[in-house]
Amino acid sequence: MRPVGIGPHFLIEAGPASWAALWSAQLESRIPYTEAENVEKASGFTDDSRSRWVGGSASELSEALRGKCDLTRFMIAKERVESSDMMERVRKELETLNPRRRRIWSDNGQWVEDRRFEPEAFEDFKRKPSPARAISLVFEMGENADVSAEKIAEFGATGWAIVDAIEAAGISVTCALNYSTRWSWDGCDSLTQTVRLKDSGEFLAPSFMAGFMTPNFFRRAVFTATTASADAAGKAVSSGLGSAVRFDSPASYSADTGTLRLLSSALGSKGLTDAILAAIRDAA
């Protein structure tokens, strides 16, 4: 994992294992910081004196990244989401989808002794699944310091409920978390940090997914990557670690890329439901 820069724009993209390894390196003081200000800043990410703001302790994050996340708060939020009008509309839309069927055709095959009395003994029937349906779901998790840990957790639970409902209906979902900020350090106009949570058709245990969709991960591991990136660029991270990127719409769907993009500010909005329905209809 390393920052890739194009001018003043930087990108960090890696799978869950790399992010977990980064956090382990931070806990064990194995990240070779060179800027004194960054060393001091990074030490705060393992400090549990402000665990309420962070959303959990450093040891709890380590356990969560091993798939041992406490799901109590997530389960409460998920139940609330699943009983909402939004999910009711989503479920009704999913019920209208035609199930995937296997296409069947035949061609000249080999003689089959057991079928010698059948009229089509020389035909070989083949079955092939119809094209898979998939949605690329991107959660924009960038938040400023005024956003509570509870709101971030609710956003994670909402995403979990959406993915669960869509995949249960036979549509595969590719999940990624984006942490997009501006002015993280001098000369850095934008920094996008991406966690590739799951690929299409890949199963991800809820407890594992929940570990990455929490404020504890956002305000410890992601801030660690921000600081390490600044240090790699020979800069000291800004005092507030930059500010969250603002998007034109809190929820949007692009038919060109098949990407559904959601922000936490979309929670409870009509636009969230409309974007999800648009993605489902296009995937169908």
Tens of pLDDT, residue by residue over 75-102, are 777 787 788 888 888 888 888 876 554 4
Task: Please tell me the distance from the alpha carbon of residue 71 to that of residue 78, in angstroms, as a whole number.
Answer: 10
Residue 152 has pLDDT above 70, yes or no: yes
Domain ranges of the chain: 4-95+131-283
Q: Tell me how far apart the alpha carbons of residues 139 and 156 are, in angstroms, rounded to a whole number.
A: 9
Contact predicate 261/138, CB 8 Å: yes
pLDDT digits over 176-207, tens only? 998 888 899 888 898 999 999 888 878 777 77
For residue 272, pLDDT over 90 is answered with: no
Instruction: Tell me which of 283 and 194 has the higher pLDDT.
Output: 194
Residue ranges of alpha helices (H) inside the chain are 16-27, 36-43, 51-54, 58-64, 72-82, 85-95, 149-168, 206-212, 215-217, 223-232, 270-283
Give the model's confidence band at 3: pLDDT under 50 very low, under 70 low, under 90 confident, else very high.
low
Say which residue the tokens 């705060």 belong to: 44
Helix (H, G, I), strand (E, B) or coil at 138: strand
Measured CA to CA in angstroms, residue 187 lies from 37, 53, 139, 145, 234 at distances of 17, 29, 26, 22, 11
* Comparison of pLDDT for 138 and 87, the residue scoring more: 138
pLDDT of residue 119: 57
> Residue-wise over 43-79: b if at least 16 C-beta within 10 A, else e?
eebbeeeebeebbbebebbbebbeeebebebbeebbe
**Residue 123 binned pLDDT confidence (cut-offs 50, 70, 90):** low
pLDDT at 115: 56
Q: List phi, psi (to 5°) of 32.
A: -80, 70
Nearest alpha carbon to residue 67 among 216, 211, 217, 220: 211
Tokens representing 38 are 């960054």
Over residues 26-49, the mean pLDDT reads 91
Pseudo-torsion of CA 177, 182, 186, 188, nearest 10°?
A: 60
CA distances from 220 to 172, 209, 226, 245 (A): 30, 16, 10, 19
- Decide: residue 158, CB within 10 A, 0-12 exposed, 13-18 middle, 19+ buried: buried
Least confident of 52-56, 60-64, 277-281: 52-56
One-letter amino acid of 113: E
How does the average pLDDT of the chain come out, rounded?
80
